[in-house]
Amino acid sequence: MSGADPTGEALLEALDLDDSFSPVRTLAEGKAGTTELVVRSDPRAGEPTLLVRKRMPAQLANEQAWRALRDVAASGAEGSSRLPRVREIYRLPDELVVVYDFVDGPTLADLVRDGGPLEVPRAVLLVRQLCQALAPLHAAGVVHRDVAPGNVVVAADGAHLIDLGIARVRVEGATHDTTRLGTWGFAAPEQYGFAQTDARSDVFSLGRLLAYALTAQDPSEESFESAADSPCVPASVRAVIKKATAFEPSSRYQSVGELASALEAACPPEPVAARPAAPEPAQSSYGARAWLRRATAPAASPADLWDAFRSADAGAKAGCVLLALFGVLGALMMLYSASFVVAKSLVDTFTAVLCVAVGAWFALAFGWEPVCCVLSAGRYGVRTGRLRTLLRREGVLLLWLFAAFAIIVLAVAFVLPNC
């Protein structure tokens, strides 16, 4: 934990240093402290304009861990560039204050919330980068203890691990941690008093993090096994998740290096030349584009759906074939109804509307989304909540169906007179 509170001249110097930072906005606030975006009144050479100031209660903060982070980040060790660079560490009465570089980009929690599950290669790459970030910390004896989606920033150059608010230095001979903290669902069992945390505790969190990235399912609500059960996650990756998140630390990968090697073997990285460059996101319209992407994106790609279909049992396959046939029937009825609206008299309007309603119902109820739901493919690769997701998606697709029907009517109106 932190040392004694400063007094006299040391306290005055700490207060002057604290006053040299001007808050821009509050990033987070809770029992573990307050995190603010700040700027320094007298910027220093080589220092970014935006910095993060974290205030932590003295009884919870571990000054030794933060100083170890400062040394690691300044050492240039492999992976250190994915850790925040600490600029200042000072103590105030009942507080430890740390100032470090701000990393621009959405958190992993933001990415998954706005865009749904990540593709397997991207999720695996991000976790391997986090392994690189943790390796020098573990070598210095520091356990992060809070590897969670909100503490992972996905910048232009990949994943960055931030916030060592509850990090600790391993104590030889201790039977358990003094404080039981961590993000529920991502924290290892030993963080709640079963044993002392070590590097394998962060391995557990990385496994849960990978499961979250692949399924968009928060393990605080659903078990990480939902990722291991999803046919859209390769079996080799499912096996890695299962081992990384074993209850007993001795059954997990014994280091982040072992986990990174296992992930590389399970999902080899693509050649650099084969990966298209990611476009620059327009920050001003990020939210609107994300909503539109979620609303229009298919539940699963054809390749993922085919893989899920091949691995399904006979009953699920028969159900999917039946759903597909009903979907085709619904589409044909829509086309037939459109021809009625344009080509027949007003006497047949009621019949046309009825056909449209029945056709729309068939197309919605037995289309692509229900097949994905039956096969647990794509966004439906979770244990529970699939029906709720299906109903929400069908509501959005209903709007697109009405637009498609209007286009069909216009097309028929132009085509039939020329036939």
Residues 122 and 74 in one domain: no
Residues 25 and 92 in one domain: yes
Domain boundary among 290, 319, 345: 290
* List of residues 6+ apart from 196 with CB closer than 8 A: 170, 171, 174, 175, 176, 177, 190
Can you state the angle between helices 349-365 and 314-343, rounded to 10 degrees? 160
pLDDT value of residue 207: 94
CA triple 241-244-247, angle to 5 deg: 115
CATH of the domain at 59: 3.30.200.20
31-78 per-position pLDDT tens digit: 778 899 999 998 888 889 999 999 988 887 788 888 988 898 788 788
Could you give the CA distance from residue 56 to residue 32 in angstroms, rounded to a whole number?
Answer: 6
- Extract long-range pairs of 305-314: CB within 8 Å, 24+ residues apart: 305/371, 305/372, 305/375, 305/377, 305/378, 307/231, 307/232, 308/231, 308/232, 308/372, 308/375, 308/376, 308/377, 309/375, 311/231, 312/231, 312/374, 312/375
Residues 128 and 268 in one domain: yes
Is 41 part of a structural domain of the chain? yes
Task: Give the DSSP H or E segment for 290.
Answer: helix 286-296
Domain boundary among 257, 290, 323: 290
Task: Give me the chain's average pLDDT, please.
Answer: 77
* List of residues 6+ apart from 68 with CB closer than 8 A: 137, 140, 141, 142, 169
Is 1 part of a structural domain of the chain? no
Stretches in the chain below the pLDDT threshold 50: 1-2, 175, 178, 222-224, 272-296, 346-347, 382-384
Domain enclosing residue 83, as ranges: 8-101
Say how many domains are in the chain: 3
Report phi then psi at 26, rounded to 5: -90, 130
Structure tokens at 30: 């809770």
Residues 230 and 141 in one domain: yes
Q: Which residues pair with 263 in a beta bridge?
A: none
Residues 267 and 374 in one domain: no
Domain boundary among 81, 101, 121: 101
66-116 per-position pLDDT tens digit: 898 889 878 878 888 899 899 999 999 889 999 999 999 999 999 998 888
Q: Which residues pair with 100 in a beta bridge?
A: 52, 86
Residue 308 one-letter amino acid:
A
Residues 95 and 225 in one domain: no
Residues 168 and 246 in one domain: yes
Structure tokens at 214: 């692949």
340-369 per-position pLDDT tens digit: 665 555 445 555 655 666 566 555 555 667
Could you give the CA distance from residue 158 to residue 264 in angstroms, rounded to a whole number?
Answer: 16
Residues 307 and 270 in one domain: no
pTM of the model: 0.62
Is 15 part of a structural domain of the chain? yes
